[in-house]
Amino acid sequence: MLASNPAKALPAKSLVTAFRDWLHHRRLISQCRQRLEACDQNEIARIAHDVGLSAQDLRRLSHLGPDAAELLFERLYALHLDADAIAKSEPGTMRDLQRLCSNCVAKGRCQRDLLLRPDDPNWRQYCPNVDTLDLLRSESADIR
């Protein structure tokens, strides 16, 4: 007997919603790119400096979209780390975490692990932020 098509198991509304969300995401990415491309080199350099990035990193991140580091916040939550506290006390560290997460090539694996097994240490094998997250966890444990 042949396996059923998994797409048929999803309600049509879910497919429409998923497509709508994907389309909205693509439009946001396009808007980010267009806004940055409208800037001259000096303005790009100024913006990059203001957010603590190189102009090249800023351009690369604009192509990834506004939620490229969303999995970082899910990982921080799974590790019982407060993203807002880190951003306030160590903004440079948070920027680095976000930059590495945004450029990570293991997003699918990370998303799957967070969804199915957030406490499984398997993420440590592929996460580019593992060392920094370990340090933040140890600092957090020292405070308690």
Render each residue's pLDDT in the chain as its tens digit; 144 residues: 344 444 445 555 687 888 888 788 788 878 878 888 898 999 989 988 887 878 888 888 777 777 788 999 999 999 999 999 999 999 999 989 998 999 899 999 999 999 999 999 999 999 999 999 999 999 887 765
> What predicted TM-score, i.e. pTM, was given to this entire model?
0.68
User: Can you tell me the distance from the alpha carbon of 43 to that of 54, in angstroms, rounded to the nearest whole number?
Assistant: 12
Is 61:99 a contact under the CB 8 Å cutoff? yes
Between the CA of residue 25 and those of 18, 19, 31, 62, what are the distances in Å?
A: 11, 10, 10, 13
Is 72:101 a contact under the CB 8 Å cutoff? yes
